[in-house]
Amino acid sequence: MAHDPHALRALLGPEAALCRRALTGEAGVALPPFTDHHVHLHLIDETRLAPGGIAGVLDLGGDPVELARREPHGIPRVAYAGAFLTAPGGYPVGRPWAPASITREIADPSTHPGVPGGAATAVDEQAAFGASVIKVALNSTAGPVFDAATLEAVVTVARERRLPVIAHAEGEGMPQLALDGRVQGFAHTPFTGYVGRAFTAHAVAAGQVWISTLAIHRDDPQAAEFARVNLAGFAAAGGRVLYGTDLGNGDLPVGVNPDEVAALDRAGVRGAALVAAMADPWPSAERPAGVCTFVPGPPPLQLDDVADWLRGATVVPTEELIHDDL
């Protein structure tokens, strides 16, 4: 029985605890605060994130000037990439949801600062506006992509600035280009084909993070299956999976996305591993402060119940919860 604290922690991870809200007496379960590792804040109503269970977000493509103006200590806590770095005319330049302020076209693999259209110039600009990751678009289905030298320049400069590089890799060979280019992670679990064991082993050994976004493939069952199998392999090999929804891309629920959670569960990221993927503070080392996740009602009793139960999550101040178990 998961009402037993030991069983609860076995099911949901070491920080799960039975608790009640001080003001209302409502009983439930406390978990560490959740982060959605792939959002676009300029396309959503962010006031609905915390009521929906999301305490932190990683914005993976927005206007660096607008993002830098944010109040830095609020909830949701926001980390961001700033603009998409892409090849001239590359994805997502010209998309209706992508104004010019959110893309930077790199025409020169220069690692020297201040070169117009240079790789270092684009990375330095995002860093100056407070980015904590760099996002590169490698989408060969929607336009030109970086050659290996330009990607190498971006990654080299970003590493010097201690900024991990996250790739949107889409199209034949793009995940391999990203992996060979030493990017630190994928903005979407690779979905163009099966990546295979050697690729997965290399990605895990390199310490990559894979942001799930499994539920964006609603209209493409084959891409959904490629992504599910690829993420299952990555997770089984010990890879670091991060919950992410690509929130802002189409009509997705703001807050914990039940479809994404269910898809992770089907990829074998279940129970405590699922909670860990949602509670991972990457790219920060610290979780959002002063808050935790609260799921009202009785706890789940078995592994099969966890994903659906998580749809009740909300963010509450830690001080508002009284812990029942020891």
Stretch that binds Zn ion, among 26-34, 204-212, 231-239, 246-254 (CB under 5 A): 246-254
The answer to whether residues 133 and 164 touch, using CB atoms and an 8 Å cutoff, is: yes
The number of residues that bind Zn ion (CB under 5 A) is 1
Given the complex with Zn ion, which of 17 and 67 has the nearer CB atom? 67
The answer to whether residues 239 and 200 touch, using CB atoms and an 8 Å cutoff, is: yes
Tell me the three state secondary structure of residue 154. Answer: helix
In the window 93-122, what residues touch Zn ion (CB under 5 A)? none
Given the complex with Zn ion, which of 170 and 246 has the nearer CB atom? 246
- Report, in Å, the least distance between residue 122 CB and Zn ion: 18
- Report, in Å, the least distance between residue 248 CB and Zn ion: 7
Dist CA 82 CA 124 (whole Å): 11
Q: Tell how far CA 37 is from the center of its chain.
A: 2
Given the complex with Zn ion, which of 227 and 291 has the nearer CB atom? 227
> Can you read off the two tokens belonging to residue 159?
């590493």
> Can you read off the two tokens belonging to residue 317?
């101040």
Site string for Zn ion, 152-191 (x = CB under 5 A): ----------------------------------------
Dist CA 90 CA 108 (whole Å): 14
Neighbouring CB atoms inside 10 A of 207's CB total: 11
Q: Is the dihedral of CA 79, 81, 160, 140 positive or negative?
A: positive
Residue whose CB is nearest to Zn ion in the complex, by number: 246
Binding residue (CB under 5 A) for Zn ion from 246, 260, 265, 280: 246
Given the complex with Zn ion, which of 63 and 246 has the nearer CB atom? 246
Given the complex with Zn ion, which of 246 and 265 has the nearer CB atom? 246
- Report, in Å, the least distance between residue 191 CB and Zn ion: 13
130: nearest Cα among 67, 49, 198: 67
Residues forming the site for Zn ion (CB under 5 A):
246
